Structure 1
Amino acid sequence: MTNLQIAATAAALALAGLTASFIPIYLLHILILIALYGALALAWNILGGMAGQVSIGHSLFVGFGGYLSTILYLSFGISPWLGMLAGAASGAVLGAALGFVIFRRKLTGIFFALVTLAVAEMAYFIVSNTDALGAANGLSILPATGLAMFQFHDKRHYFYVALGLLTITILVTILIRRSRLGFHLSAIRENERAAAALGINVDGAKIIAAAISSGLAAPIGTFYAQYVLFIDPESLFGVGFSIEPLTHAFVGGLQSTLGPLFGAVVLIPLSEGLRIILGGRFSGAHLIIYGVVLIGVIRLAPEGLSGALHQILARYKRGNRA
């Protein structure tokens, strides 16, 4: 990612923050979802795209962060802001621990994906049957408007928080891309044996990627809990928070620094728009159209939308030079 692209991204984020006051409420809700899922997709991509370790169980970390901060708030009166930090740190430790166990046993590819799915499903089952965590009925968070309580009447404040989470995730992603760790992860993604032969600590790099990815995903759970003031196993540990970031990353482009965010920018409004247009009359029809669009993008643009856009711009530049 060039310095010009970084400057353009920073300008876009600043512009979004400055114009939030003039954006209609429902559109603001969509922008919050884009920031939220964009941050999650970028966090997922650190492990799934950079390191090539496709996880389909990232809902484990989102759910862990959401439930930890909520329990700390409801049971001990600890501010959700501190709960978010605790969730991020604990999520990173959990991700590193799982990575240590899985990668030390040389589980990669489809085996790694299935293990992450199995662990997330185990967490879903445990939470659903634990009364102290609300079981299947979930937990409600009583309204208590105030900055310290992470609750606001105005959606703009939620948007600013979501934008902050997205900005942090973008910065971490750029730093990793430009660091030695980023080059190591790229080498591991292309060929683990060759990377090991070059002296790269393959397991160590993947464990670090897992820790960073899970640590950035956990705060998403806290934000979701405070945004809707209710959590249950299905909403946080369900497949939604596992499949959505993967889908956004694949559609936007795994190899692009901000490709996963690009995927969220395109797919979230599409999904919400189809739900509004078709959801009331043909229940579930929007999912069919959404799926067709996804298949078409993956079929016609294997490198994602960002890759296709890059190719179009490259052809345009060559045409101007000619």
Structure 2
Amino acid sequence: MTAKDLLPIALFAAVAALLPLFVTQNTWLNFAVFTLIICLAAQGWNILGGYGGQYSFGHAAFFGTAAYATAILQMRYGMNAYPAFAVGVAAASAVGAVIGFLSFRSGLRGSYFALVTLAFAEVFRVLANASEVTGGAAGILIKLDVRPANFQFDSRASFYWIALGLVTAALVVTRALERSRLGAQLVAVRENENAALALGVDALRVKLSAIALSAAITGAAGALYAQYFLYLDANIAYGTWISVEALLAPIIGGAGTVFGPVLGGVVLHGLSEFTKTLVGRIPGLDLVIFGVLLILVVRFPPREIPGLIRMWRARR
């Protein structure tokens, strides 16, 4: 990886970092922080689904595991928020490795793998909803203690810059993966796993590495969500909403590309907020919109925004 590879990421981070200097309303900053959290989760999905071709419908399992681990360690065991955040990310990665081992070792791929990940996420949701350590149906509330040493800030701009830093780090990791031997092997497995095996690629190791890294990045999004909103319940942490958004953003923005999840996440949430402004905040409206978009991008090629732009320029 060269400096030329990092230049677009540096430019994106530098421009995006200026937003709080011009936008000071908390409503818009909340929107920006939440959008970055979704972009981070989507970047995690992109590594497994975009580069690896292993479509997951259950990334909520990783998002929720990290979120709950972060909250529980703070509230039940008195751990500081920063190490709790790191442990949450590690726990999500471990869950990803276990799910990946059980799935890939059994030879599951395609729709079978997607359904297994969805099943794991739903099992985790049911367990969290019934468990006492997670607060059950009432959820868990992280104590408000606004101090930087406790990973809580009185300014939403601070959280925005932290979220932007995590997204930027995920972009760098994705670019490094793209330029690495592991990335080449991952793409080879995506294109033709049997051919990759014939060439000596250890497909199981490659896919396990991808799902562990994917889960860690999505877990970072979950841990940041918990720390920003300070409340979790099973339907938030392990809900289908995060699996759908983590999957749909890269598909719309360009799966298997570095900036695709960021572009898709911004477009998705921009469209969602615009629609809510027009027709009101109807519960479940955003999922309806995302479902319609998913049908459209699957049914009508090109399936992503960059492809539409290229087609429009060609016609021009």
Task: Report the TM-score when normalising by structure 1.
Answer: 0.91
**Structure 2 CA distance, aligned partners of 1:307 and 1:184?**
25
Match of 2:133, SS state, is helix
**Equivalent residue, structure 2, for 1:274:** 275
* Corresponding residue SS for 1:224: helix
Residue 10 (1) aligns with residue 10 (2)? yes
- State the secondary structure of the residue aligned to 1:153: coil
- Superposed counterparts of 1:108-119, under 5 Å: 108-119=109-120
Taking a change above 3 Å as real, the CA distance of residues 287 and 218 of structure 1, as seen in their structure-2 partners, is closer
Matched, 1:21 2:21: yes
Distance 1:196 1:258 in 2: 29
For residues 57-84 of structure 1, give each alpha carbon's deviation from its aligned partner in whole angstroms, at most 9, with x where no partner exists.
1111111101111111012221121111
The residue aligned with 1:173 is 174
8 Å Cα contact 1:99-1:210 kept in structure 2: yes
The residue type equivalent to 2:8 in the other structure is A
The alignment of Structure 1 onto Structure 2 pairs a total of residues equal to 315
d(CA) in 1 for partners of 2:13 and 2:310?
A: 21
- Partners of 1:283 and 1:235 in 2: how far apart? 14
- Report the residue type matching 2:19 in the other structure: T
When the two chains are superposed, the root-mean-square deviation of aligned CA atoms in Å is 2.1
Q: Distance in 1 between matches of 2:287 and 2:122?
A: 23
Residue 214 to residue 302, structure 1, CA distance change in 2 (3 Å):
same
Q: Per-residue deviation at 1:284?
A: 4.9
Q: Take 1:290 and 1:183, find their aligned partners in 2: how far apart are those partners?
A: 31
Structure 1 residue 309 and structure 2 residue 309: aligned? Answer: yes
Identity of aligned residues (%): 36
Give 5+ residue unaligned stretches, structure 1: none
Contact 2:89 2:223 in 1 (8 A): no
1:263-303: CA deviation from partner (whole Å, max 9, x where unpaired): 112111111221222124x6655654554444444444434
State the TM-score, normalizing by the size of structure 2.
0.93
Following superposition, the deviation at residue 18 of structure 1 comes to 2.8
Amino acid at match of 1:157: S
For residues 141 and 65 of structure 1, the distance between their equivalents in structure 2, rounded to whole angstroms, comes to 14
Deviation track 1:83-109 (CA, whole Å, cap 9, x = no partner) reads 111111222122112211110110001
Contact residue 38 and residue 264 of structure 1 kept, 8 A: yes
Distance 1:70 1:222 in 2: 8
Q: Work out whether 1:241 is the aligned partner of 2:242.
A: yes
Offset, 1:22: 2.1
Alignment of 1:48-127 (within 5 A): 48-127=49-128
CA separation in 1, counterparts of 2:265 and 2:20? Answer: 19
User: What residue ranges of structure 2 are gaps of 5+ in the alignment?
Assistant: none
Distance (whole Å) between structure 2 residues aligned to residue 294 and residue 260 of structure 1:
14
Shift in CA distance, 285/50, structure 1 to aligned 2, threshold 3 Å: closer
CA distance in 2, matches of 1:8, 1:166: 13
8 Å CA contact retained: 2:297, 2:303: no
Matches within 5 A, 1:173-322: 173-280=174-281, 284=284, 287-312=287-312, 315=314
State the shift of 1:256 in Å.
Answer: 2.1
Query: CA–CA distance in 1 between the matches of 2:152 and 2:116?
Result: 36
The answer to whether the 8 Å contact 1:50/1:254 transfers is yes
Kindly tell me: are residues 113 and 84 of structure 1, through their superposed partners in 2, closer, same or farther at Cα, counting changes over 3 Å?
same
